[in-house]
């Protein structure tokens, strides 16, 4: 698996983007993911890619817990896999647990993503290539 990006939970995506731009990041268009109730915006600098994720509106979303407990923070590393189903099984054998099952994601053009957690390193995301 190769690293695709580092995900940041942010309260205000516009303010976070502006501060990352001051560091030299260039951003893609803002994505509204209605299924997950979040805004997403990818940025890149020096070959590194980040994903800003913030709540779309009040209601359940994947970043509420992080924002409530720690505020703005990096919270996952995303990896790409040629065979998502096989990768999930391999990671489960390495003591990772699925916390958000594989599902198509608008931010990746409909490719499936899964979120898994390992108690020793935290959460990862895996997206199919």
Per-residue pLDDT band at 116 (split at 50, 70, 90): very high
> What are the residue ranges spanned by the domains of the chain?
2-128
Q: What is the pLDDT of residues 68-98, one digit of tens each?
A: 898 899 999 999 999 999 999 999 999 999 9
Q: Kindly report the CATH number that applies to the domain delimited by 2-128.
A: 3.10.180.10
CA–CA gap between residue 85 and residue 7 (Å, rounded): 22
Phi/psi of residue 58, nearest 5 degrees: -65, 150
DSSP 12-53: -HHHHHHHHHHTT-EE---EEETTTTEEEEEEEETTEEEEEE
Measured distance CA(58)–CA(12) in Å, rounded = 13
pLDDT tens-digit profile of 58-69? 778 888 888 889
């Amino acid at each position: 698996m190769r690293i695709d990006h580092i995900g940041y939970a942010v309260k205000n995506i516009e303010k976070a983007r502006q501060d990352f731009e001051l560091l030299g990041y260039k951003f893609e268009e803002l994505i509204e993911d209605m299924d997950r109730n979040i805004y997403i915006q990818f940025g890149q600098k020096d070959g590194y890619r980040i994903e800003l994720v913030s709540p779309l509106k009040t209601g359940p979303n994947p970043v509420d817990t992080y924002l409530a407990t720690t505020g703005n923070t990096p919270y996952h590393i995303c990896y790409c896999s040629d065979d998502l189903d096989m990768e999930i099984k391999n990671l489960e054998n390495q003591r990772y647990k699925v916390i958000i099952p594989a599902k198509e994601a608008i931010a990746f053009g409909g490719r499936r993503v899964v979120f898994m957690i390992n108690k020793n390193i935290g959460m990862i995301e895996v997206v199919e290539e």
